[in-house]
Amino acid sequence: MKALIAVLPGDGIGPEVVGQGTRLLRAVAERFGHSFELTEAPMGGVAIDLTASPLPPETLALCQRSEAVLLGAVGGPKWDPPAKVRPEQGLLELRKALGLYANLRPVAPFPALYDASSLKPEVLRGVDLLVVRELTGGIYFGEKRRDETQAFDACVYTVEEVVRVVRAAATLARTRRKRLTSVDKANVLETSRLWRAVTERVVREEFPDVELKHLLVDACAMHLIKRPADFDVIVTENMFGDILTDEAAMLSGSIGMLPSASLGANRRGLYEPIHGSAPDIAGRGVANPYGTLLSVAMLLRHSLGLEKEARAVEAAVATSIEAGTLPADLAPPGTRPAGTEEIGTAVLAHLGAHR
Ligand SMILES: NC(=O)C1=CN([C@@H]2O[C@H](COP(=O)(O)OP(=O)(O)OC[C@H]3O[C@@H](n4cnc5c(N)ncnc54)[C@H](O)[C@@H]3O)[C@@H](O)[C@H]2O)C=CC1
Ligand SMILES: CC(C)CC(=O)C(=O)O
Ligand SMILES: [Mg+2]
């Protein structure tokens, strides 16, 4: 198949991990007989430096005409306040402009990495959960104001915004263990009371075969590390999903392991690891690229419909991890960690074996 893929490396370790992602996409195209046209564009801090805008119109237009977007990460101290324009605004605008309201963040720790996690192996055994985070509403997109004495961030959710993300999550739950946990703060927030009522109605009327439970977000943070194997699909609002998935990443051993897919009404999707630009390790060639490589698998599956290729990538990643090719954030003490590029090379080598 032919596909146009936009590539937005971004800032910090973004270009390092995305570099391995594009190598992998080219290798998949070559080995499976596809034609992927990869076009790079600036987004985030690098775009502010070039154009004064974190999401230049040309970058947005490229993403809009592409089948999929592969992104690294944006942000860094260079663009922190007092800078007026922030790289993160570009990412929020891009998600909104592409209508990507459902952010899928799977958490399925590799057994070979149980010892790298701060949790006990017996807690991690059997963990296979999917967080569906609402991505284009809530407090990240509400009106913001600030004066000398106070600041204000509005959190707004409409019924329609909740309906569509809950439908997406329940549809995914149907393909899994049919268990959906909706996470909110309905004991305090009005938006959460709306969220809970709408979720109840949508699941009862449209997904009677899916078991629905509700959890308050603070309790969910606890249950996620106490009994993570009990969860199947979690659906939650934008900010709660952002925070809970950084926490859930610790089940997998490192934040560098988790991929994501951001989807909307059509097949076009944005694929990115869940981590940020990691300025503390940028430029050293040591960043963990596995989250990005697994995001490539999600891109192949969700936007291009290439299931066989997606599985081949996931199998190559699993083989590389089982073979002990581990970056500094995962390598056991006393072992030599593999660099970012070395990991990319190992995964390409294993891809041949998993055709
Ligand atoms: N989607 C995006 O583009 C995101 C951007 N950010 C931005 O990134 C910048 C840094 O934010 P932080 O809070 O430090 O979060 P971060 O996720 O960039 O880093 C947190 C910690 O995890 C480590 N880490 C992250 N990814 C890693 C990887 N692939 N391999 C090895 N170690 C990794 C970092 O070295 C750091 O110690 C900020 O400007 C923030 O706004 C943060 C989250 C998401
Ligand atoms: C706008 C982003 C920086 C928010 C974030 O942390 C994420 O999407 O994971
Ligand atoms: Mg985050």
Ligand 2, closest atom to CA 242?
Answer: 9
CA-to-CA distance for 307 and 310, rounded, in angstroms?
Answer: 5
| Displacement of CA 146 from its chain's centroid (Å) | 30
Q: Measured in Å, how far apart are the chain's first and last C-alpha atoms?
A: 17
| CATH for the stretch 118-252 | 3.40.718.10
With a 6 A CB cut-off, is 91 part of the ligand 2 pocket? yes
Task: Give exposure, 39-55, as e/b (b: 16+ Cβ within 10 Å).
Answer: eebbbbbbbbeeeebbb
Among residues 185, 232, 271, 290, the one annotated as catalytic is 185
For residue 8, the ligand closest to its alpha carbon is 1
Decide if domain 1-106+256-355 falls under CATH 3.40.718.10. yes
User: Residue 278 corresponds to which tokens in the numbers above?
Assistant: 């990691």
Q: Is the CB of 309 under 6 A from ligand 2?
A: no
Q: Nearest C-alpha to atom 23 of ligand 1 is from which residue?
A: 278
Q: Which of 11, 79, 91, 104 to mutate to test the pocket of ligand 2 (most atoms within 8 A of CB)?
A: 91
pLDDT at 78: 96
**Residue ranges per domain, the chain?**
1-106+256-355, 118-252
- For residues 354 and 319, is the Cβ–Cβ distance under 8 A? yes
Q: What is the pLDDT of residue 352?
A: 80
The answer to whether residue 80 is catalytic is no
- Cα 159 from Cα 201, distance rounded (Å): 11
- Copy the structure tokens of residue 37: 């046209």
ipTM of the complex: 0.99
Query: Of the ligands numbered here, which is closest to the C-alpha atom of 262?
Result: 2
Are the C-beta atoms of 70 and 293 separated by less than 8 Å?
A: no
Looking at residue 354, its pLDDT comes to 61
Question: Which amino acid does the sequence have at 221?
Answer: A
Quick one: pLDDT at residue 84?
87
Query: pLDDT at position 21, please?
Result: 98
Which residues surround ligand 1 with Cβ inside 6 Å?
13, 17, 73-76, 88, 91, 255-256, 272, 275-281, 287-288, 329
- Phi, psi (deg, nearest 5) at residue 168: -60, -45
Residue 285 annotated as part of some ligand binding site:
yes
CA distance 284 to 19: 14
Q: Which residues contact 2 (CB under 8 A, 6 or more apart)?
A: 34, 35, 36, 37
Q: Are 172 and 105 in contact (CB under 8 A)?
A: no
Sheet (strand 129-134) strand order = 35-40, 2-10, 68-73, 269-271, 261-263, 102-107, 129-134, 233-236, 179-184, 211-216
- pLDDT tens for each residue of the chain, 355 residues long: 999 999 999 999 999 999 999 999 999 999 999 999 999 999 999 999 999 999 999 999 999 999 999 999 999 999 998 888 999 999 999 999 999 999 999 999 999 999 999 999 999 999 999 999 999 999 999 999 999 999 999 999 999 999 999 999 999 999 999 999 999 999 999 999 999 999 999 999 999 999 999 999 999 999 999 999 999 999 999 999 999 999 999 999 999 999 999 999 999 999 999 999 999 999 999 999 999 999 999 999 999 999 999 999 999 999 999 999 999 999 999 999 999 999 999 999 999 876 5
Question: Model's pTM, two decimal places?
Answer: 0.98
Per-residue pLDDT at 82? 84
Burial 257-296 (b: 16+ CB within 10 A, else e): bbbbbbbbeeebbbbbbbbbbbbebbeeebbbbbbbbbbb
Q: Which amino acid is at 255?
A: I
How far is Cα 102 from Cα 99, in angstroms, rounded to an integer?
9
Do the domains 118-252 and 1-106+256-355 match in fold? yes
